[in-house]
Amino acid sequence: MARLLITGGAGFIGSHTALVLLEAGHELVVLDNYANSSPEALRRVLELAGPEAEGRLQVIEGDIRRSTDLDRAFAAGASPGAGVEAVIHFAGLKAVGESVAEPLRYWDVNVNGSQRLLAAMRAHGCRTVVFSSSATLYGYPEAVPIPESAPIRPINPYGHTKAAVEKMLSDVAASEAGWRIACLRYFNPVGAHPSGRIGEDPNGIPNNLFPFISQVAVGRREQVQVFGGDWPTSDGSGVRDYIHVMDLAEGHLAALNTLLAGGDQLLQLNLGSGHGHSVLEVIEAFGRACGRSIPHQITQRRSGDAAITVADPSEAKRQLGWQTRRNLHDICQDGWRWQHSNPGGYAT
Ligand SMILES: NC(=O)c1ccc[n+]([C@@H]2O[C@H](COP(=O)([O-])OP(=O)(O)OC[C@H]3O[C@@H](n4cnc5c(N)ncnc54)[C@H](O)[C@@H]3O)[C@@H](O)[C@H]2O)c1
């Protein structure tokens, strides 16, 4: 059992990962300012984890950019000689469009926030961190599936901040001994816990396809817009690699175990399924899961989109012994269970 600090642990990926980590026996301190989440998510995580997890989750409302909040999180519940052993760093802003409109806010939260966190880690003698990176780093990929060796060429401010933090982490790893770092480059995290108790609950209009489809299915929105029907793909719609959020959560546990078991490391790994699905295929699969067809309309391509983005996940399998276990059917079933039992998200 390790004591872990989870930044952004009330969010979509953080809450599912917190559950997997509690089930694995770890003790968690979550630091979140609820900028894009609800305290209800962690209440439900505790409910799902059951009495076994009693006393192993401490939640601190605070901001990763504020050193006093970070100090509180590192000190939380620690007995002498039992400080935080590792950090899983989810906290950040993630909407590409918003990052174009408000780049300074994105650099502040994502880059300055990560810098403050790393400084606090050093001050508290913790040098093990798993960082939420993104496939956005690759920009327009030259070839698919995309290996980790592909050029890092982000095309929007959100992607620039992720690239900057990866650079910061590699500089830190080179600066002194003792750092164990995993940058996990997620492809498209979707779905929900199979209980339907926790899931993705975006504020306002969803930026991503999957929550948009599920909100149309539940009657919150009229129809899905499919951006481009003339891409060079089998049905003309864009192809993406969708990863079930529970597979992603298990990927974090595997990364943590690998870091804790080894010496100094700097891992940069894709977490994806290695399979591509077109937008129209996802709309169809979701329609099967919810028992009704999903209204949609094909519109113009959106600037900044690529035709096909699919991970080469073989390095994660080799280095972490991890691979996805769930498919598009599971993603749609679990996503629909969450959405129809919580039509307004955690507020319902
Ligand atoms: N969901 C995706 O499609 C995706 C893809 C690739 C990478 N990522 C990255 O994974 C991480 C988690 O993503 P998510 O989908 O769970 O997003 P999310 O918005 O649901 O979770 C992020 C959490 O961080 C918290 N937070 C934001 N700013 C904070 C601050 N200054 N201090 C403390 N907490 C703060 C939010 O309240 C939220 O709970 C993010 O770093 C994101 O960039 C997400």
Nearest to 274, CA basis, from 319, 327, 313, 248? 313
User: In a 10 Å sphere around its CB, with 0-12 CB exposed, 13-18 middle and 19+ buried, how is residue 129 labelled?
Assistant: buried
Domain ranges of the chain: 3-347
Alpha carbon distance 298, 196 (integer Å): 30
The pLDDT value given to residue 204 = 84
**Helix, coil or strand: residue 308:** strand
Q: Is the Cβ–Cβ distance between 93 and 108 less than 8 Å?
A: no
pLDDT tier, 78 (very low <50, low <70, confident <90, very high otherwise): low
Nearest to 183, CA basis, from 81, 241, 259, 266? 266
Chain segment 79-88, per-residue pLDDT in tens = 655 799 999 9
The pLDDT value given to residue 80 = 53
Nearest to 322, CA basis, from 265, 247, 267? 247
Percent of the chain with pLDDT over 70: 99
User: In a 10 Å sphere around its CB, with 0-12 CB exposed, 13-18 middle and 19+ buried, how is residue 307 labelled?
Assistant: middle
Question: Which amino acid type is present at position 311?
Answer: A
34 a catalytic residue: no
Chain segment 209-240, per-residue pLDDT in tens = 999 999 999 999 999 999 999 999 999 999 99
Chain segment 92-114, per-residue pLDDT in tens = 999 999 999 999 999 999 999 99
Nearest CA to ligand 1 atom 44: 94
pLDDT tier, 77 (very low <50, low <70, confident <90, very high otherwise): low
Chain segment 138-178, per-residue pLDDT in tens = 999 999 999 999 999 999 999 999 999 999 999 999 999 99
Query: Which residue is associated with the tokens 């999180």?
Result: 73
User: In a mutational test of the pocket of ligand 1, which residue from 90, 188, 193, 248 has the highest number of ligand atoms less than 8 Å from its CB?
Assistant: 90
Average pLDDT score, the chain: 96
Hey, how many other C-beta atoms are within 10 angstroms of the C-beta on 235?
A: 13
Give, as one character, the DSSP assignment of residue 328: H
Alpha carbon distance 148, 315 (integer Å): 8
User: In a mutational test of the pocket of ligand 1, which residue from 6, 13, 42 has the highest number of ligand atoms less than 8 Å from its CB?
Assistant: 13
Q: What is the CATH number that goes with domain 3-347?
A: 3.40.50.720
Ligand 1 centroid to residue 133 C-alpha, Å: 10
| The dihedral sign for the CA sequence 252, 140, 137, 286 | negative
| The dihedral sign for the CA sequence 330, 219, 10, 209 | positive
- Across the range 69-83, mean pLDDT stands at 81
Q: Is the Cβ–Cβ distance between 224 and 211 less than 8 Å?
A: no
Ligand 1 centroid to residue 284 C-alpha, Å: 28
**Helix, coil or strand: residue 188:** strand
Question: Which amino acid type is present at position 264?
Answer: D
Ligand 1 centroid to residue 300 C-alpha, Å: 29
Distances (CA, A) of 192 to 12, 196, 248: 9, 7, 11
Residue 19 has pLDDT above 80, yes or no: yes
Chain segment 264-310, per-residue pLDDT in tens = 999 999 999 999 999 999 999 999 999 999 999 999 998 888 999 99
Tokens coding 340:
């129809």
> Which is catalytic among the residues 106, 158, 186, 242?
158
The pLDDT value given to residue 81 = 55
Q: Is the Cβ–Cβ distance between 311 and 276 less than 8 Å?
A: no
